[in-house]
Amino acid sequence: MSTLRFDHITVRFGTGRHAITAVNDVSLTVPHGTVVGLVGESGSGKSTLARVAVGLVPAAAGAITLDGRPVPRKGAGRPLQMVFQDPNSSLDPRMTVGEAIGEITPRGLTAAERQADVARLLELVHLDPARAGAYPGQLSGGQRQRVALARALAGRPSVLIADEITSSLDVSIQGAVLNLVRELQAELDLTMLFISHNLAVVRYVASRVAVMYQGQIVEEGPAEQVLAQPEHPYTRRLLAAIPGEGTRQGQGSERHRTPSELTEGEPND
């Protein structure tokens, strides 16, 4: 079991007059085996919350617990792993795919075991294990993001935090990465905090949704409920801003598609 809890977390940057409260008294639970979607505009504090969880940013107040115990923030084998937005930045250009993943695999493996583990992880994210020797520069954007996912999984995390992992990808690749996330989640029974500014993306992977606005969580609940009957005005604004929902040109019902138009079998990966 691994339930992640943010308990009255506050994060401040800067000191004195210039201090900014990026996260303001946020409490949030990510229950074991579920994906919680965290949405909000950039600057609303989503990434900061994620970085607090994995120990990259200190919290000014509050506690983060995993099954009631404080999350260890030092040393190897940490139970929380994170996937970052831009795979161009999150993979070291001078390290091969195999080295990058192998670096996070548990300590004490022999070289052969480590290699096998890397191959298994690459397989898991649908990459050819033979690509272990490739440098990130030789991969496409979508493949890089898969490597980043494999690396995060190499640490055998109890909880995975995905911070805007499809925002820097082409829409045509985004679909494949989202499918992979859902597949991995089901296969490994992952507990996951999935951050995105796109509600349609979050809707596809998350069973619960939390909406963050100006450092605070303004709405939280089961995905269907939050998306169908948003309570907070900000959630409604986010919903209205989803591109392709035909709000801008006022061309009326022509632009609203029926579900059947969208989902009938397109070519699959």
Partner 1 sequence: MATKTANQARPSAQLRRAFATPMGLVALICLALVLFLAAFGPFIWGEASQTRDLTNLSGGPSAEHWAGTDAGGRDMLARVLVASRLSIMMALESTAISLVVGLILGSAPIILGRRVGRVVNWFIGIAVAFPGLLLALFFAVVFGSGAHQAAVAIGLAGGPSFARLCQTLIAGVLGRDYVAAAKVGGVGRFRLFGRHVLPNIGEPLVVNATIGAGNALLAFASLSFLGLGVQMPQFDWGRLLKECLEQQFRFHPLASLTPGYFVVVAGLAFSLTGESIARAMSFTSLGDLGLRGKARRRAAQLAAVADAARAPDTASATVPDAVLTVRDLTVTFPAGPGEVRPVRGVSFDIGPGEAVGLVGESGSGKSLTALAVAGLIESPGRVAATELGFLGEDLSRDGAGAHRRLLGTSLAMVFQDPMSSLNPTQKVGHQLAELAHEHGDLSWRQAQARAVDRLAAVRLPEAKRRAKQYPHEYSGGMRQRAMIGLGVMLTPKLIIADEPTTALDVTVQEQVLDLLQAIRREDGVALLFISHDVSVVGDICDRVMVMYAGRIVETLPVTRLHGGAAHPYTRALVAAVPTMATDLDQPLPTIPGRPVEPAEVPPGCAFAARCPLADARCREQEPALEPWLDGQVACWRPVGADTPATAATLGGPRLGAVPTARRAVKETVETTRVAARGAVDQAKAAARDAAGQVRDALRSAADQTRRAVLGEEEGPTEPGHEEAQP
Site for partner 1, residues 105 to 134, rule: CB under 8 A: none
Q: Work out how close the CB of 57 gets to partner 1 at its nearest, in angstroms, rounded to a whole number.
A: 10
**Among 21, 29, 31, 95, contact with partner 1 (rule: CB under 8 A):** 95
DSSP string, 220-239: EEEHHHHHHS--SHHHHHHH
Distance between CA atoms of residues 52 and 29, nearest Å: 14
Helix segments in 79-191, DSSP class H: 87-90, 97-104, 111-124, 141-154, 171-188
Size of residue set near partner 1 by CB under 8 A: 84
Distance between CA atoms of residues 104 and 136, nearest Å: 17
Identity of the residue, 26 or 82, whose beta carbon is nearer to partner 1 in the bound complex: 82
**Among 16, 68, 93, 108, contact with partner 1 (rule: CB under 8 A):** 93
Q: Work out how close the CB of 80 gets to partner 1 at its nearest, in angstroms, rounded to a whole number.
A: 7
User: What x/- string results for residues 215 through 244 when contact with partner 1 is judged by CB under 8 A?
Assistant: ------------x---------xxxxxxxx
Q: Which stretch binds partner 1 (CB under 8 A): 28-36, 62-70, 86-94, 214-222?
A: 86-94
**Among 13, 61, 67, 77, contact with partner 1 (rule: CB under 8 A):** 77
Joined tokens for residue 75: 């040393």
**Among 80, 118, 127, 159, contact with partner 1 (rule: CB under 8 A):** 80
Q: 187: helix, coil or strand? A: helix
Q: In degrees to the nearest 10, what's the CA dihedral of 156, 35, 98, 124?
A: 90
Q: Work out how close the CB of 64 gets to partner 1 at its nearest, in angstroms, rounded to a whole number.
A: 14
Cβ-proximal residues to 157 (8 Å cutoff; 6+ apart), any chain: 78, 79, 80, 81, 190
Give CA angle at 216 (239, 18), nearest 5°. 120
Identity of the residue, 23 or 174, whose beta carbon is nearer to partner 1 in the bound complex: 174
Cβ-proximal residues to 96 (8 Å cutoff; 6+ apart), any chain: 132, 133, 134, 135
Q: 147: helix, coil or strand? A: helix
**Among 32, 131, 197, 232, contact with partner 1 (rule: CB under 8 A):** 197
**Among 14, 43, 133, 222, contact with partner 1 (rule: CB under 8 A):** 43
Q: Which stretch binds partner 1 (CB under 8 A): 5-13, 62-70, 114-122, 254-262?
A: 254-262
Nearest partner of 4 among 46, 52, 66, 81, judged by Cα = 66
| Residues of this chain, 129-158, that bind partner 1 according to CB under 8 A | 137, 140-141, 148, 151-152, 154-155
Identity of the residue, 25 or 188, whose beta carbon is nearer to partner 1 in the bound complex: 188
